[in-house]
Structure 1
Amino acid sequence: MTSSRKLHIGMSLAPTWLSGDAWRRGDSGVEGLFSPHYYVDIAQRSEAAKLDFVFRPDTLFLDAARLEDSPGFASLDPTILLAAIAGATSRIGLLSTVSTTFLPPYVIARQIQSLNALSNGRAGWNIVTALDGNENFGLSDMPSSDERYARAKESVEIVRRLWEGFPGDALKLDRETGRYADPAAIRAIDFDGRFYKVRGPLNMPDMAEDPIPLIQAGASPTGRAFAASIADAVFAASPDRDAAIELRADLRNLAEASGRSADKIRVLPGLSLYLAESRGEALELYMETHKRLNRGQKFAAVKACIGLDLTDWPNDRPVTAEDLPEEPATVKNRTMAGLLRRLIVRDSPTPDELLKRPEVIGSAHWQIIGTVEDAIEGIRDWHDAGAIDGFIAVPGGSVSSMHLTLHELVPRLAEAGLFRSDYSGTSFYSHLTEE
């Protein structure tokens, strides 16, 4: 199946190209990670390539142990960072991550609407429920997955109603009559739900013509249903093409079941790109990045994810579906656990084979290690198979891999007719809905 629709492409501002040992390279620029200039440069390069958006993921906790040998999760606040980027760009979308578990919906609505005003309609909200950080917000334990999504559903409804409650045309600014605004056009929402009670209205008007895009990353059954009901796009973990095809088909069916058009939801998996001038150099880049990730750490990651201890497992004995422990009722990351269990059921890998997979040593993202030509071929294959509507680039290994993505790969996709050659609109929403 060949699709005529053009891809939608975002760029991660999380410096994935500095993960593992890549930050130790002389050209990494790691000293600038807490400076806006580092990210403004990436955003400007992304805008020159005509990308839909730049995206800053986020966590609200710090794993201090990881800082021993990697940048870890330490980062600038995404919405504040994107506000700084807004003044240095003019067309590219700005996707901020805000947790519905920890931040009140009124604050979320105000922050994202403020970013939208500062950027002239280029803000987007990446809706996350969070996997950790509860102790920073007075909670002894994380709420269950079902409770987090129930809270998220309420939060999104409140945020949307707050945005709608203060329309920009309520402002009259009539100097002659002295009428600043029409109070009758500004509405309280009087929301009274299970988790929140919010009167409103928001104290920030909606000045944009287009709506603010909503992006979501849930891939568990509950997460998929939630995303299909509200999201304009889904940031998906899809380590292989079959997983991507299944996810996209399911999300489209779920969107229709919730009363939406299937074409209203776009599936954008993360694409981990280790790019170099030759395949050998790309593989070397990949191996160099992960050289300090030993077997013990990988086994620990598997055990933490699905409860399977492979420490003393014979190297020549495949891991099969029968070896999987019963799935616990509570799983920290249900998406990752599901993908790892699916891999074992489908492939019965040996431990060595398992430990090379992105489900174990990455974030379960689609992965291409090779040249720009290899990346074009892989992206075209997934696009033509109906597996994706686009992707979010998460380059790995080096700054040069990131530059190859933006300076060579994306322009070549445009030349091949798979991506836009110029912007046709000015808002984030217009980029994301462009055919």
Structure 2
Amino acid sequence: MAANRQLCIGLSLSATWMKGDGWRRSDSGVEKMGAIDYYIDLAKMAEKAKLDFLFKADYLYVSPQMLGDSANFGSPDPTMMFAAIARETERIGLVTTISTTFNPPYVVARQLQSLHWLSNGRAGWNIVTSIEGAENFGDSPMPSPQERYAKAMEFTDVVRKLWESFPNEAIVIDRESGIFSDKDKVTSIHHSGDFFSVRGPLTLPAHTSGSIPLFQAGASDTGRNFASSIADAIFAAMPDLESGVELRTDLRRRAKEHGRDPNAIKVLPGLYFFLAETREEAHELHKSAHAHLSVERRHASLKSVLGLDLSSFELDHCVTADMLPDPNQPVRSRTHAELLRRYITKYEPTVEEVLARPEVVGSAHWVSVGTVDDVLNEIIQRFEAGAIDGFIALPGGSEESMKIFFEKLMPQLVERGLFRSKYAGSTLRAHLAI
């Protein structure tokens, strides 16, 4: 590990600490979730710790799992949330999520450039192709993964062209000559492709800080190819160290094949942590967070993720590779399905072990449960092994877990030289060193 290499760390503004029965705790503060002040306070906490960015996922549909006993109702528009947070913070990056499947690129280019201006160069775009929600945008079925990624590639190209169509240098503000802008520098893009026809130019100039950093989370073969070709940072699903090393190595190789510097991309898994003063307390937090998931619900989730129905088998029955369904059948997430397939093929786990996997009970995040030292050691181990460039903090169990992260774990990373003690710049590009 290079001596000057440091972690890149973001905080998810989704209330992961209220998952499961966490919201039912008397100290959960669940009533505050509907007010922007709550998220502004979280943003200020993260900025005080000098984190690189805030991140917010987005949902364009309401699934049954979001309602009932879950402290969830989908998602407010994250770009609008970040516009409000931008006025209450100064340096932390603001990474919003916008789908390329259900939006027009001109509107997205304008929204993102507007957020970039409002935040003075701190906007980031998490590019998603969406895996559900087609019924909310017409009668057409959900496009295939191949079509979604082809559309995403063209969409991203159009957005970048639009950002370049009105360069910051076009604003001259010459009082003596009476010239405010150089119209010759503002150009139409005249894009005509398989999915979009856009003339341009954009309605506002680029920000002085430069282009907006791109984030992506593709982990299937098609997704990895897309992410490695355009992303500055990649949100990765990696429940264990081995899968992390494989993914990061592969993404860096692909980036090089695309003519990019492999060091130009950062691989950032979600770290779903349960922190407490003792291991026993931490494990109790983790157990409580998933106690609401009955065996029946876990079986239903497994079938959705992998297309595998194990409901007729006893919990101690071993699951082997020959039991796996056709890998080409439609599933909710190919990324999570592939992670599960590898796990089953390699370890031949029991049904009970499969039903406890992160891909089944959560979303394939890296899960760490224990004391500050326990979680700290896992972070260092993965960092030194080349599995990660950083992570997105997903506090679990309770707000106390998040408090311990900020007050005790982050100072330890700073003390060990693995994270900054102060910001070196004021833009997201500066934080990412791109």
The reply to whether TM is greater than 0.5 is yes
CA drift at 1:2 = 7.1
Deviation per residue, 1:234-287 (Å, 9 max, x gap): 000100000000000000000000110111111000100111111000011111
Paired residue type of 1:55: F
2:124 equivalent to 1:124: yes
What are the superposed Cα offsets for residues 46-90 of structure 1, whole Å, 9 maximum, x if unpaired? 001110000010011112553111123522210000010001100
SS in 2 for 1:338: helix
Q: Determine the structure 1 residue equivalent to 2:148.
A: 148
**Counterpart-to-counterpart distance in 2, 1:72 and 1:34:** 11
Identify the residue that residue 267 of structure 2 maps to in structure 1.
267
Aligned to 1:248: 248
Which digits, 9 at most, give the CA deviation of each residue in 1:139-168, with x for residues without a partner?
431100000000000011011111111011
Give the counterpart letter for 1:352 in structure 2: E
Q: Secondary structure at the match of 2:46?
A: helix
User: Contact between 1:116 and 1:208, CA under 8 Å: does it hold in 2?
Assistant: no
Q: Which amino acid aligns with 1:214?
A: L
Whether the 8 Å contact between 1:2 and 1:384 is mirrored in structure 2 is no
Per-residue CA deviation, residues 332-389 of structure 1 (Å, 9 max, x unaligned), is: 3100111111111111111112222212111111110011111111100001111100
Partners of 1:286 and 1:314 lie apart in 2 by 24
Indicate the SS of the match to 1:96. strand
**Residue equivalent to 1:70:** 70
Paired position in structure 1 for 2:226: 226
Aligned residue in 2 for 1:100: 100
Separation in structure 2 between the aligned mates of residue 327 and residue 387 of structure 1, nearest angstrom: 26
Whether the aligned pair in 1 keeps the contact of 2:163 and 2:211 (CA below 8 Å) is: no
The answer to whether the Cα contact below 8 Å between 1:270 and 1:366 also exists between their aligned partners in 2 is yes
**Structure 1 counterpart of 2:328:** 328
In 2, the alpha carbon distance for the partners of 1:142 and 1:153 equals 17
Unaligned 5+ runs, structure 2 = none
Contact 2:305–2:359 (8 Å) recurs in 1: no
1:5-154 maps to which residues of 2 (within 5 A)? 5-64=5-64, 66-154=66-154
8 Å contact 2:234–2:267 — kept in the other structure?
Answer: yes
Query: Could you list the per-position Cα deviations for residues 214-237 of structure 1 after superposition, in whole angstroms to 9, with x for gaps in the alignment?
Result: 000010000000000000010001
TM normalised by structure 1 equals 0.97
Distance in 1 separating the partners of 2:335 and 2:393? 20
Residue 409 (structure 2) pairs with residue 409 (structure 1): yes
The aligned residue for residue 190 of structure 1 is 190
Distance in 1 between residues matched to 2:218 and 2:41, nearest whole Å? 30
AA of the residue aligned to 1:164: E
Residue matched to 2:239 = 239
Deviation at 1:174, TM superposition (A): 2.6
The answer to whether the 8 Å contact 2:66/2:74 transfers is no
What secondary structure sits across from 2:94 in the alignment?
A: strand
Equivalent residues of 1:47, 1:91 under 8 A apart: yes
Matches of 2:264 and 2:142, distance apart in 1? 32
Aligned residues: 434
Deviations 1:96-122 (A, max 9, x none): 000000111101100010000000000
Q: Secondary structure at the match of 2:67?
A: helix
Partners of 2:300 and 2:76 in 1: CA distance = 29
Distance 1:347 1:65, change over 3 A: closer
The amino acid of 1:10's aligned partner reads G
Equivalences for residues 336-351 of structure 1 within 5 A: 336-351=336-351
**Matching residue of 1:364:** 364
Matching residue's letter, 2:27? D
Q: Retained in 1: the 8 A contact 2:9–2:393? A: yes
* 2:157 partner letter: E
Structure 1 contact 244–387 (Cα < 8 Å) conserved: yes
1:330: Cα distance to partner? 3.0
What is the identity, as a one-letter code, of the residue corresponding to 2:159? Answer: V
Tell me which amino acid in the other structure corresponds to 1:424: A
Task: Supply the distance in 2 between the matched residues of 1:73 and 1:196 (Cα, whole angstroms).
Answer: 32
* 3-state SS, counterpart of residue 249 of structure 2: helix
Q: 2:300 aligns to what SS in structure 1?
A: helix
CA distance in 2, matches of 1:65, 1:257: 40
**Equivalent position of 1:398 in the other structure:** 398
- Give the aligned residue type for 2:25: R
Runs (4 or more) in structure 1 with deviation over 4 Å come to 1-4
User: Cα deviations across residues 299-325 of structure 1 (Å, max 9, x unaligned)?
Assistant: 111111222111121233210111112
Counterpart residue number, 1:203? 203
Distance 1:332 1:288, change over 3 A: closer
Structure 2 CA distance for aligned equivalents of residues 53 and 2 of structure 1: 23
What is the rounded CA distance, in whole Å, between the counterparts of 1:54 and 1:375 in structure 2? 21
Aligned equivalent of 1:307: 307
Paired amino acid for 1:409: L
- Structure 1 residue 3, shift from structure 2 partner: 6.6
* 3-state SS of paired residue (2:364): coil
CA contact (8 A) 2:307 2:331 kept: no
Which whole-Å CA distance do the structure 2 matches of 1:249 and 1:320 have between them? 27
Could you list the runs of 5+ residues in structure 1 that have no partner in the other structure? Answer: none
Whole-angstrom distance in 1 between the partners of 2:133 and 2:140: 10
The worse-fitting range, judged by mean Cα deviation, of 312-321 and 102-111 is 312-321
Cα displacement (A) at 1:129: 0.3
Between the aligned residues of both structures, percent identity stands at 53
Q: State the distance in 1 between where 2:164 and 2:221 align.
A: 30
TM-score of the pair, normalised by structure 2: 0.98
